[in-house]
């Protein structure tokens, strides 16, 4: 983006963040923050309860995600960093959006279909997740939303909601666009089922704060077999990760071996494990320090919520005036 824009993004507090969250979202957020955009980065705890959860784990996961953002480099002096449920206006705006969004738009969302598949009973929050996400984005009149590939459809829905609101009540919200990294949208695959995306709530994900032995253990088990059509999505996934966490020279070396049919997956996994361990070494230490200071984390989140609330209250007032809500 050439000029400073308003940017909004978040991650669910449904578990520890993994390298998919990092490459798909967090890494881009850090770039946008250092490029001087007006950034709002939040922890989506209300989205976190749309899938099954345990209260104690939710509490711990929220603190963990907060420490992850900060240890990775989100700077509360440069970006507005807050917890979604601390800014009550999000839920109110989401309700108003629910009332102008056709049910069919929500029912066709891929994430709703995927996530409702294995659940005994499907809660209404899972269906209306995208209208809450539209509220998160439009509340701050964002121009751009940096997300991984899996969330693009939800950003498109936020555009639909903005259009519907604007045409019914007058121009209020800009239509946000999803933001891609230079090389395109990122979708890191699961290590055990490489046709699916790596996910917090899916199979064991490679976490940003995994210790070196854990990284090696998980990568050793990574599936690298070819499928019936000769495709090898597991190996492609590992090579893609190497291109991000390793050097260009190292990546070229393994790509050449693959072309020559001489690639030993154990060597690739070992090199990748070392690269990922080194890449996150400083992050791991910073995160441990932060997790030992829950009071500090609470203070940072409180300050961030106060900044976000000011903007949110102004937007909600405008919305109430336009819709006739007293």
* Binding of residue 186 to ligand AQP (CB under 6 A): yes
Annotated active-site residue 115? The verdict is: yes
Annotated active-site residue 200? The verdict is: yes
CB neighbour list of residue 161: distance below 8 Å, 6 or more residues apart? 97, 100, 101, 131, 134, 138, 173
Nearer to ligand AQP, 151 or 232 (CB): 151
Q: Among residues 61, 85, 101, 151, which is the contact residue for ligand AQP, using CB under 6 A? A: 151
* Binding of residue 201 to ligand AQP (CB under 6 A): yes
Phi, psi of 126, deg, nearest 5:
-65, -35
* Binding of residue 68 to ligand AQP (CB under 6 A): no
Q: How far is the CB of 320 from ligand AQP (least distance, A)?
A: 28
Lookup: tokens for 218: 């998980």
* Binding of residue 11 to ligand AQP (CB under 6 A): yes
Residue 224 to residue 111: CA distance in whole angstroms: 26
Considering only the C-alpha atoms of the chain, give the largest distance between any 2 of them, rounded to a whole number of Å: 70
* Binding of residue 20 to ligand AQP (CB under 6 A): yes
Nearer to ligand AQP, 199 or 224 (CB): 199
Q: How far is the CB of 10 from ligand AQP (least distance, A)?
A: 6
Residue 12 to residue 17: CA distance in whole angstroms: 9
Query: Which candidate in 3, 16, 56, 115 is catalytic?
Result: 115
CA atoms within 13 A on the CB side of 289: 8
In the shown chain, the binding pattern of residues 121 to 150 toward ligand AQP, with x for contact by CB under 6 A and - for none, equals --------------------------xx-x
* Binding of residue 14 to ligand AQP (CB under 6 A): yes
Annotated active-site residue 218? The verdict is: no
* Binding of residue 16 to ligand AQP (CB under 6 A): no
Residue 284 to residue 282: CA distance in whole angstroms: 5
Query: Which candidate in 16, 189, 200, 218 is catalytic?
Result: 200
* Binding of residue 200 to ligand AQP (CB under 6 A): yes
Nearer to ligand AQP, 241 or 300 (CB): 241
Q: Among residues 62, 128, 199, 277, which is the contact residue for ligand AQP, using CB under 6 A? A: 199
Which residues are paired to 172 by β-bridges? none
Q: How far apart, in Å, are the Cα atoms of 190 and each of 100, 135, 219?
A: 36, 30, 11
Which strands sit side by side in the sheet containing 38-44, from one edge to the other? 80-83, 38-44, 6-12, 144-146, 177-179
The sign of the dihedral angle between the CA atoms of 130, 132, 136, 141 is positive
Nearer to ligand AQP, 44 or 316 (CB): 44
Q: Among residues 12, 178, 244, 287, which is the contact residue for ligand AQP, using CB under 6 A? A: 12
Nearer to ligand AQP, 204 or 270 (CB): 204
Q: Report the candidate in 73, 69, 74 with the shortest Cα–Cα distance to residue 43.
A: 69
Q: How far is the CB of 132 from ligand AQP (least distance, A)?
A: 11
CB neighbour list of residue 183: distance below 8 Å, 6 or more residues apart? none
Number of residues that make up the chain = 326
Q: How far is the CB of 186 from ligand AQP (least distance, A)?
A: 5
Cα separation of the two ends of the chain = 38
Q: Site residues (CB under 6 A) for ligand AQP?
A: 11-12, 14-15, 20-21, 23-25, 44, 147-148, 150-151, 186-188, 197-202
The catalytic residue positions are 115, 197, 200
């Amino acid at each position: 983006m050439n000029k400073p824009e308003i940017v909004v993004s978040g991650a669910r507090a449904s578990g520890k963040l993994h390298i998919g969250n990092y490459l798909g979202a967090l890494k881009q957020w850090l770039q946008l923050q250092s490029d001087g955009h007006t950034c709002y980065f939040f922890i989506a705890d209300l989205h976190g309860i749309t899938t099954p959860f345990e209260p104690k784990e939710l509490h711990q996961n929220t603190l963990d995600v907060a420490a992850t953002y900060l240890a990775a480099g989100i700077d509360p002096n440069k970006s507005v960093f807050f917890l979604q449920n601390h800014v009550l206006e999000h839920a109110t705006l989401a309700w108003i959006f629910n009332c102008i969004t056709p049910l069919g738009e929500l029912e066709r969302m891929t994430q709703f279909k995927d996530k409702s598949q294995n659940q005994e009973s499907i809660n209404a929050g899972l269906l209306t997740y995208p209208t809450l996400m539209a509220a998160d984005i439009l509340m701050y009149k964002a121009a751009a939303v940096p997300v991984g590939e899996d969330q693009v459809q939800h950003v498109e829905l936020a555009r639909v909601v903005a259009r519907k609101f604007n045409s019914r009540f007058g121009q209020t919200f800009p239509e946000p666009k999803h933001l891609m990294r230079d090389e395109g949208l990122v979708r890191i695959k699961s290590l055990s089922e490489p046709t699916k995306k790596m996910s917090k709530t899916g199979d064991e994900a490679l976490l940003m704060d995994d210790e070196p032995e854990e990284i090696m253990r998980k990568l050793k088990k990574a599936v690298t077999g070819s499928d019936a059509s000769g495709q090898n999505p597991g190996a492609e996934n590992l090579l893609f990760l190497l291109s991000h966490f390793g050097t260009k020279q190292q990546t070229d070396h393994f790509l050449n071996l693959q072309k020559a049919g001489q690639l030993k997956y154990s060597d690739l996994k070992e090199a990748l494990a070392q690269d990922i361990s080194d890449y996150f070494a400083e992050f791991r230490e910073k995160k441990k320090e932060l997790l030992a200071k829950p009071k500090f984390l609470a203070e940072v989140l409180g300050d961030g919520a106060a900044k976000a609330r000011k903007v949110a209250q102004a937007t909600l007032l405008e919305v109430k005036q336009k819709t006739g809500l007293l």
